[in-house]
Amino acid sequence: MRWFLFILFYILVDIYAFQAVKTITKSPLIYGFYVVISLMVLAGLIYELSFFGSSKMMQPPKMYFFGIFLAVFVPKLLLVIFMFGEDILRFFVGLFMKIYGSQGDFYMPSRRKFVSTIALGIAAIPFASLLYGMIQGKYDYRVLKYALEFDDLPDEFDGFTLTQISDVHCGSFDNRRKVEYAVNLINEQQSDIILFTGDLVNNTADELHDWKNLFSTLKAPQGIFSVLGNHDYGDYVKWKSASAKAENFRRLIDSQKEMGWDLLRNENRILERNGQQIAIVGVENWGENGFKQSGDLDKASEGISGNMFKILLSHDPSHWQSKVKTDRRNFQLTLSGHTHGMQFGIEIPGIIKWSPIKYRYKNWAGIYEEFGRYINVNRGFGYLGYPGRIGIWPEITVIQLKKKQNTV
């Protein structure tokens, strides 16, 4: 029933938005083009909802339809807002003329061409942006570098560098050359360690098949460590049996080993330099709002002394906000992903950082600090759902750890 109501809503929006086109042109050719595009998108929408509406599998063809749907529908919504605002004004003008006019008749003024022209011009902005995000933005990789200071960082790790990537979602990729460029860009950072914070695939281990050799070329002197994200468990697939799901999960685990990645499943690894140590701690996915909660900090921290410097890998930043930042064991730095920055937003360093995802996650992109503890939320390497990015670009994070110098 809800899908029928959504389709009805789409049709009403489409018809209403068409009034703006009629105001500025009388061309049958343009009318026909508008109608054909609208009918094609409507047919695709009905097809997707009828045959795939209950499936959570996100494959490139479906994602591209979703992207095209957004590129067509969002501008029409903007047109409706403008047209509706103008219609309200026209109604009150007509009402005023009926009450105070000499004729006493209710007459609504005709639509003004310049309002429709402005509305169409503004609507063209999201249309162009959504297309750009699908064509170029999704592979517009950015290297973001930070230096963080800690009082309790061991001296031997002063200047230690780590590269974080997250949310690869390799089942979405459609351009090997672009992804190869990004993998080379990661290696070019020459960090001491590479840390991956979950969501290697969209749903199934098979998605990794064509990309495994490429991600195997990632190298770092201290190794590559990873954790699982909510998509890595295969929970969003309707499996034929529990054993099929378990086999899929086993193959994903084995693939990471074959790639040379050390997957941490509620466990830790100790790095040592000249007798001094830090811990890399990795938990399984722990999220709120219905996401899997398999992360176990107690188990992951076994064997670690309380005052050891710790870097925690936890896919979902809500874990840090709810549990980690106040944990008595003091996890000095947490690395997360998950949000993708919603793949849409506005970021101008030092001026504005905004995305709709901020209304769901307090920590959604970049560095945050509370109680002297830090979290970095990586904006994601890949994409999911909408096959593009606008304003929130795919990210490779490089963090240098620094020993805070005491000043007198």
Mean per-residue pLDDT, 160-188: 97
Mean per-residue pLDDT, 310-321: 98
> What does the pLDDT read at residue 7?
83
Confidence band for 57, pLDDT divided at 50, 70 and 90: very low
> What does the pLDDT read at residue 47?
80
The length of the chain is 408
Determine the Cα–Cα distance for residues 59 and 202; give it in Å rounded to an integer. 8
Rounded to 5°, angle at Cα 167 from 161 and 169: 135
Q: Of 21, 72, 84, which is closest to residue 42 (Cα–Cα)?
A: 72
- CB within 8 A of 329, min separation 6: which ones? 297, 301, 304, 306, 310
pLDDT digits (tens, 9 = 90+) for 380-402: 999 999 999 999 999 999 999 99
Confidence band for 110, pLDDT divided at 50, 70 and 90: low
Identify the three-state secondary structure at position 401. Answer: strand
Q: Which fold has domain 140-403?
A: Purple Acid Phosphatase; chain A, domain 2 (3.60.21)
Mean per-residue pLDDT, 167-195: 97
pLDDT digits (tens, 9 = 90+) for 333-365: 999 999 999 999 999 988 999 999 999 999 999
Q: Of 400, 406, 404, which is closest to residue 162 (Cα–Cα)?
A: 400
Mean per-residue pLDDT, 6-17: 87
> What does the pLDDT read at residue 53?
47
> Cα–Cα distances in Å, from 45 out to 135, 202, 266, 393?
21, 22, 42, 28
> What does the pLDDT read at residue 54?
41
Report H helices in 101-166. Answer: 113-135
| Stretch among 16-20, 110-114, 132-136, 173-177 having the lowest mean pLDDT | 110-114
- For tokens 């963090």, the residue is 399
pTM for this model (two decimals): 0.91
> What does the pLDDT read at residue 227?
98
Confidence band for 87, pLDDT divided at 50, 70 and 90: confident
pLDDT digits (tens, 9 = 90+) for 134-153: 999 999 999 999 999 999 99
- For tokens 């992951």, the residue is 300
Tell me the pLDDT of the chain averaged across its residues. 91
Where do the domains of the chain lie?
A: 2-135, 140-403
Judge whether 182 and 396 are in contact, CB under 8 Å: yes
Kindly tell me if the per-residue pLDDT of 300 is higher than 70.
Answer: yes
Helix (H) / strand (E) element for 51: namely helix 28-52
